[in-house]
Amino acid sequence: MVGLTEEQCKAQGLDFCINKSTFRANGKAVAMGETDGMVKIISETSTGRLLGCHICGPHAADLVTEAALAMSSSLTVEAIAGTIHAHPTLSETVGLLTLRRLSIISDSRRSYSYGGLLFVTVHNFMLLIVVDIWKIFQHNHCLSRCFLH
């Protein structure tokens, strides 16, 4: 866990949103046979700034570093959502939660696109299809610098 808890956000009078997902919905966790666990992100409603992240389950100590970096850099959920999260990985759960927070995805939609990527849900597994590589390069300046120079 890094950042604030729900109780601390309430005590500070913050207006916040909570998004949660279980590892049971993550393809990598299913493939590893380690589906017990969950990820919860807490973000400020008005700004989207990440306030807290709680992870329990396989490799939680490895996964929480993304949230710690985001919080120490005052990044928003939009910035995290714009970061490529490889599939299948446990860390894509954080990326999907930020997309859900931005209402780019919902539990009921079967496909959606963001930043040149197309996400399609098939049999409860998320597939990622690159539909516009140039849009990804433009959206992720670090990635474009690596590949274009």
Active site includes 87?
Answer: yes
The closest of 42, 43, 44 to 55, measured between CA atoms, is: 42
Q: Given 54, 59, 85, 87, which residue is catalytic?
A: 87
User: Peptide bond before 88: cis, by omega within 30 degrees of 0?
Assistant: yes
In this structure, are strands 117-122 and 50-56 parallel, antiparallel, or unpaired? unpaired
- Cβ burial 117-127 (10 Å sphere, 16+ → b, else e): bebebeeeebe
* Residues involved in catalysis: 87
